[in-house]
């Protein structure tokens, strides 16, 4: 199907052709926010399209959230995607559809769905090893459980924010190993973490595990995710119950959710798992995703983390998350953990890029960074193979650091 | 005001007189669920009362959740409590009010509010010490941060269930220290944790900390909470990111939320904090709560944890939770962590009562327990001083263990 492009001007080769079609929620002038789909540099306003006789009638898109669409389930996702593809591919639909295209520059993009529960995993062998070396220098970097299960924890759902939301530098307790006692103040080691987030559409029942094979029935799509982290707060607080205030001040996600169906040709083999996982975690290959991420700080590329290097697969995360019978809700979000490859330029956090602050990195303007400074803007972007050749461009996620609000 | 009781038969001396008035959500026959308040062994059906000319008109109570009332804020909570007290105290109101009283035995009690974010703390010095001794026998039981901050973590909001919901024994990975590798199967060390939960009504803005002094502006009320725990799953998974599947299968809360205003005379001094907390954690005394908890297993009292022994106060938990600028939402729930006193019979978990399974406890029927068996029913109850003398009875939370659903 290579070369079959939308009639929408500029869509061909943009990473936002008919093989992508990510969903988002937008506001246009003073109208109520509603659901749109991206094509080229336009948003197709889906509420009037869904109410028209162009397609099977639906009011799924009049909501200020993707939640009704997400809750509609896999067969609904599939038929909506089919009719959207037809409308945006077939030139004979142009006259009817074009009035509902809005230039991206004229809309504000909002948080695409209210997050129910947010779980963050720790799926990169390289990231877990790097953090272990820095946080626990006197012991084995990789803990004994790491190769047996995708380690994860719950984060704060209420502070998941949309791309563009400014990030206030958090205050809290910090204590360097050499300090006698902690002090209160703004974090001095503010960091990003480049991650992929998986968005649950179809819920599951309490007490019933979701097997790896059912991944695509439950997962609606994918976002980029920046798990902002205050390393000094985190290092002091995290034993024994895990990260808390070092992470809970903000987590940014992209405004566009790429449907899982758009990634059908992006699956790639996992790097290899040893020992063999327990049966409930065994997956058919290819189980990984060939997604290339780029991290920019003030426009300078500081890292290019490769998602295909991740040890644990998305379906393994979901199966593990529910193996104890924990139920899923529409709007649950689970993230991969920091994506770090084996090379220096592939590490997905400043903690790893600067090796805990020891080795500053250089930006294009000649300035250096160990951790983030006030005013810094961090942007994650990513591409994945599209089903019609070329690469899809996943929705960017960006955020700028505001100074601490310290009394 | 001692001795001033409601005209409702049986309310006097029941722990559910006009000085208590906990809120819940109930279903009666096939009617839509709605908000009620408990008085004696009755539920006052608040939707018709709120729509009548007995009180200022409100539709807050027609919802199938306490959320609208919780979101209405402290002055609304106060005026609703004032008119409820007047209606249920003044005998001249009896004729108008009595038709809206439903016997408790005729209603089903539901989850009182949808939980937004659920945070669990670790505020008992005795519990943290006991767990440290068992989980990390080769090091100091209390970690260096424990006396400087209320250690906490996020739990799974979507699996907070109402009292009476059966608890399916979870499956997962378990590994004893002597095992070479983990195995998959039902938890063999299923436990309860007796806790108090604090329910947030008034939200706060992202980036703005909530000081200790604002506790009563944000917290709507209190529930009993059982943080079911699978100790074998937890012990294997919890490093370095904290408890996850060992806790996320279910957390039970009582169907009744006791308003904070009902606990005005229950405040008691903290046992003492050393070192002195950082300024953002300093509280005016009395900052603790004189609440006596009882834990029953199949009817036998197995523990009587005293809440007044807790090291960290409720206001300190809330201030710490938000000190990094994390926002609050209506429906946020934060819990104290296991309540354990200094004596053996005051420990709030089987892990501590049986000392990791070493010392079985005996139930009234002569059987013994180290951890929970299938069919066991655990019930938490509690009392607190009421403003008119006597003690309030907090809403019980109960749950029975179902066998694992292991294929």
* CATH code for the domain of B66: 2.30.30.230
| d(C-alpha A8, C-alpha B302), whole Å | 70
Q: Are residues A76 and A190 in the same domain?
A: no
List, for residues B208-235, the tens digit of each pLDDT value: 999 999 999 999 999 999 999 999 999 9
Q: Could you tell me the residue range of the domain that residue A368 belongs to?
A: 118-402
| d(C-alpha A60, C-alpha A70), whole Å | 9
Query: What does each C-alpha distance from A269 to A128, A276, A278, A312, A318 come to in angstroms?
Result: 20, 15, 18, 11, 18
| d(C-alpha A351, C-alpha B285), whole Å | 41
Substitution target from B141, B241, B403 for chain A, most A beta carbons within 10 A: B241
CB B36 within 8 A of CB B23: yes
CB-nearest to A122 from B171, B241, B321 is B241
- pLDDT in the model for residue A2: 43
List, for residues B345-389, the tens digit of each pLDDT value: 999 999 999 999 999 999 999 999 999 999 999 999 999 999 988
Task: Please identify which residue in the block is written with the tokens 């869509």.
Answer: A11
Query: Phi and psi (nearest 5°) for B344?
Result: -55, -45
Q: Are residues A105 and A218 in the same domain?
A: no
**Domain-embedded: residue B16:** no
Residues B392, B396, B401: CA angle, nearest 5 degrees = 165
Residues B112, B116, B118: CA angle, nearest 5 degrees = 95
| d(C-alpha B72, C-alpha B68), whole Å | 6
Q: How many domains in chain B?
A: 2
Q: Are residues B95 and B227 in the same domain?
A: no
Say if the Cβ atoms of A324 and B245 lie within 8 Å.
Answer: yes
Task: Please identify which residue in the block is written with the tokens 């974010």.
Answer: B117
DSSP string, B166-234: -EEPPEEEE--TT-SS-EEEE-SSEE--EEEEEEE-S---TT----GGGHHHHEEEEEEEE--EEHHHH
Beta bridge partners of B44: B37, B101
List, for residues B80-136, the tens digit of each pLDDT value: 999 999 999 999 999 999 999 999 999 999 999 999 999 999 999 999 999 999 988
In percent, the amount of chain B with pLDDT more than 90 equals: 94
- The dihedral formed by the CA atoms of B299, B120, B229 and B343, expressed in degrees to the nearest 10: -50
Query: Phi and psi (nearest 5°) for B85?
Result: -60, -45
Omega within 30 of 0 (cis) for the link into B117: no
**Domain-embedded: residue A30:** yes
Q: Are residues B147 and B290 in the same domain?
A: yes
CB A269 within 8 A of CB A357: no
Q: Which of A284, A115, A128 is nearest to A200 (CA)?
A: A115
Q: Are residues A92 and A187 in the same domain?
A: no
Minimum CA–CA partner of B248 in chain A: A326
Query: Phi and psi (nearest 5°) for B388?
Result: -110, 25
ipTM of the complex: 0.97
Q: Are residues A103 and A128 in the same domain?
A: no
Beta bridge partners of A154: A119, B154
Reported pTM? 0.97
Q: Over the range A73-111, which residues count as b (16 or more CB within 10 Å of their CB) and which as e?
A: bbebbeebbebbbebbbeeeeeeebeebbbebeebebbb
**Domain-embedded: residue A2:** no
User: Measured between CA atoms, how close is A366 to chain B, in angstroms?
Assistant: 31
Minimum CA–CA partner of A167 in chain B: B207
* CATH code for the domain of B379: 3.90.850.10
Last-in-domain residue among B52, B78, B109: B109
User: Measured between CA atoms, how close is B325 to chain A, in angstroms?
Assistant: 6
B277: pLDDT strictly greater than 50: yes
Residues contacting A208, CB < 8 A, separation 6+? A322, A325, A327, B405
Minimum CA–CA partner of B118 in chain A: A156
| d(C-alpha A365, C-alpha A388), whole Å | 38
Q: Are residues A137 and A226 in the same domain?
A: yes
Say if the Cβ atoms of A153 and B148 lie within 8 Å.
Answer: no
Residues contacting A118, CB < 8 A, separation 6+? A154, A155, A156, A157, A160, A251, A332, A333, A334, A335
Q: Are residues A97 and A188 in the same domain?
A: no
Q: Which of A230, A258, A264 is nearest to A244 (CA)?
A: A230
Beta bridge partners of B300: B297
Say if the Cβ atoms of A182 and B148 lie within 8 Å.
Answer: yes
Chain B residues within 8 A of A170 when measuring between CB atoms:
324-325
Q: Over the range A278-293, which residues count as b (16 or more CB within 10 Å of their CB) and which as e?
A: bebbebeeebbbbbbb
User: Measured between CA atoms, how close is B104 to chain A, in angstroms?
Assistant: 27
pLDDT band (50, 70, 90) for residue B3: low
Q: Which of A151, A194, A155 is nearest to A281 (CA)?
A: A151
Say if the Cβ atoms of A158 and B248 lie within 8 Å.
Answer: no
Say if the Cβ atoms of A156 and B244 lie within 8 Å.
Answer: no
DSSP, collapsed to helix, strand or coil, labels residue B77 as helix
Residues contacting A222, CB < 8 A, separation 6+? A196, A197, A198, A199, A257, A258, A260, A263, A394
Last-in-domain residue among B109, B137, B156: B109
| d(C-alpha A61, C-alpha A63), whole Å | 5
**Domain-embedded: residue B62:** yes
Last-in-domain residue among B109, B138, B157: B109
Omega within 30 of 0 (cis) for the link into A193: no
- pLDDT in the model for residue B406: 66
List, for residues B26-69, the tens digit of each pLDDT value: 999 999 999 999 999 999 999 999 999 988 888 899 999 999 99
Write the DSSP symbol of residue B407: -
**Domain-embedded: residue B308:** yes
Residue B386: Cβ within 10 Å count: 23
Chain A residues within 8 A of B136 when measuring between CB atoms:
240
- Say how many CB pairs under 8 Å bridge A and B: 198
**Catalytic position from the list A16, A20, A100, A127:** A127
Say if the Cβ atoms of B151 and A249 lie within 8 Å.
Answer: no
User: Measured between CA atoms, how close is A241 to chain B, in angstroms?
Assistant: 4
Q: Are residues B138 and B222 in the same domain?
A: yes
- SS3 of chain A: CCCCCCCCCCCCCCCCCCCCCCEEEEEECCCCCEEEEEECCEEEEHHHHHHCCCCCCCCCCCCCCCHHHHHCCHHHHHHHHHHHHHHHHCHHHHHHHHHHEEEHHHEEEECCCCCCCEEEECCCHHHHHHHHHHHCCCCCCCCCCCCCCCCEEEECHHHEEECCCCEECCEEEECCCCCCCCEEEECCCEECEEEEEEEECCCCCCCCCCCHHHHHHHEEEEEEEECCEEHHHHHHHCCCCCCCCCCCCCEEECCCEEEHHHHCCCEECCCCCCCCCCHHHCCCCCCEECCEEEEEECCEEEECCEHHHCCCCHHHHHHHHHCCCCCCCCCCEEECCCCCCCCHHHCCEHHHHCCCCCCCEECCCCCEECCCCCCCEEEEEEEEECCCCCEEEEEEEEEEEECCCCC
Query: What's the Rg (C-alpha) of chain A?
Result: 21
Chain A residues within 8 A of B329 when measuring between CB atoms:
158
Q: Are residues B163 and B192 in the same domain?
A: yes
Beta bridge partners of A297: A300, A378
Residue B78 burial (10 A CB sphere; 0-12, 13-18, 19+): exposed
Q: Which residues of B are catalytic?
A: 127
> B160-162 and B251-253 as β-strands: parallel, antiparallel, unpaired?
parallel
Minimum CA–CA partner of A326 in chain B: B249
CB-nearest to B249 from A145, A156, A324 is A324
CB-nearest to A173 from B149, B173, B275 is B149
CB-nearest to A159 from B238, B239, B326 is B326
- pLDDT in the model for residue B59: 85
How confident is the model over B150-164, as a mean pLDDT? Answer: 98
| d(C-alpha B252, C-alpha B397), whole Å | 7
Q: Which two tokens stand for residue A388?
A: 């019609």
Sheet strands side by side (includes A300-303): A167-168, A391-402, A377-385, A292-297, A300-303
Q: Which of B112, B158, B69, B162 is nearest to A157 (CA)?
A: B158
**Domain-embedded: residue A391:** yes
- The dihedral formed by the CA atoms of A171, A376, A305 and A273, expressed in degrees to the nearest 10: 0
**Domain-embedded: residue B2:** no
Q: Are residues A248 and A164 in the same domain?
A: yes
Query: Phi and psi (nearest 5°) for B372?
Result: -75, 140
Provide the mean pLDDT of chain B. Answer: 96
Q: Are residues B86 and B219 in the same domain?
A: no
- pLDDT in the model for residue A1: 42
Q: Which two tokens stand for residue A170?
A: 């958090």
- pLDDT in the model for residue A57: 84
Say if the Cβ atoms of A154 and B244 lie within 8 Å.
Answer: yes
User: Residue-wise pLDDT tens for chain A (407 aa)?
Assistant: 445 899 999 999 999 999 999 999 999 999 999 999 999 999 999 999 999 998 888 889 999 999 999 999 999 999 999 999 999 999 999 999 999 999 999 999 999 999 999 999 999 999 999 999 998 888 999 999 999 999 999 999 999 999 999 999 999 999 988 999 999 999 999 999 999 999 999 999 999 999 999 999 999 999 999 999 999 999 999 999 999 999 999 999 999 999 999 999 999 999 999 999 999 999 999 999 999 999 999 999 999 999 999 999 999 999 999 999 999 999 999 999 999 999 999 999 999 999 999 999 999 999 999 999 999 999 999 999 999 889 999 999 999 999 998 65
Say if the Cβ atoms of B149 and A241 lie within 8 Å.
Answer: no
- pLDDT in the model for residue B1: 42
Q: Which of B32, B56, B60 is nearest to B46 (CA)?
A: B60
A127 catalytic? Reply is yes
Write the DSSP symbol of residue B63: S
């Amino acid at each position: 199907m290579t070369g079959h492009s939308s009639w929408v001007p500029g869509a061909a080769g943009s990473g936002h052709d008919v093989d992508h079609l990510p969903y988002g929620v937008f506001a246009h002038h003073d109208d109520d926010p509603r659901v749109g789909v991206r094509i080229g540099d336009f948003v197709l306003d889906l509420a009037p399209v869904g109410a028209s006789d162009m397609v099977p009638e639906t009011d799924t898109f009049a909501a200020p959230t993707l939640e009704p669409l997400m809750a509609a389930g896999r067969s609904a996702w599939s038929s909506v995607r089919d009719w959207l593809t037809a409308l945006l591919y077939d030139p004979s639909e142009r006259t009817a559809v074009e009035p509902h295209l809005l230039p991206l520059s004229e809309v504000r993009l909002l948080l695409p769905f209210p997050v129910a529960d947010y779980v963050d995993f720790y799926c990169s062998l390289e990231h877990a090893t790097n953090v272990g070396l820095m946080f626990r220098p006197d012991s084995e970097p990789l803990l004994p459980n790491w190769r047996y299960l995708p380690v994860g924890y719950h984060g704060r759902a209420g502070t998941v924010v949309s791309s563009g939301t400014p990030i206030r530098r958090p205050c809290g307790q910090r204590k360097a190993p050499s300090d006698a006692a902690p002090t209160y103040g703004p974090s001095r080691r503010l960091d990003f973490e480049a991650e992929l987030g998986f968005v649950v559409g179809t819920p599951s029942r309490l007490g019933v595990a979701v097997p790896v094979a059912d991944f695509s029935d439950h997962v609606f799509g994918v976002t980029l995710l920046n798990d902002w982290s205050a390393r000094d707060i985190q290092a002091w607080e995290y034993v024994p119950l895990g990260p808390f205030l070092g992470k809970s001040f903000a987590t940014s996600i992209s405004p566009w959710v790429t449907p899982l169906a758009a990634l059908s040709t992006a699956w790639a083999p996992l790097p290899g798992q040893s020992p063999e996982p327990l049966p409930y975690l065994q997956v058919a290959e290819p189980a990984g995703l060939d997604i290339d991420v780029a991290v920019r700080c003030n426009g300078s590329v500081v890292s290019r983390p490769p998602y295909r290097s991740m040890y644990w697969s998305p379906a393994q995360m979901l199966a593990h998350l529910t193996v104890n019978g924990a139920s899923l809700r529409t709007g649950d979000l689970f993230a991969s953990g920091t994506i770090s490859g084996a090379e220096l330029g592939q590490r997905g956090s400043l903690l790893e890029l600067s090796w805990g602050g020891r080795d500053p990195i250089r930006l294009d303007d000649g300035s250096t960074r160990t951790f983030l400074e006030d005013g810094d803007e961090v942007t994650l972007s990513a591409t994945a193979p599209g089903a019609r050749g070329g690469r899809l461009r996943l929705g960017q996620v960006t955020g700028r650091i505001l100074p601490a609000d310290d009394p």
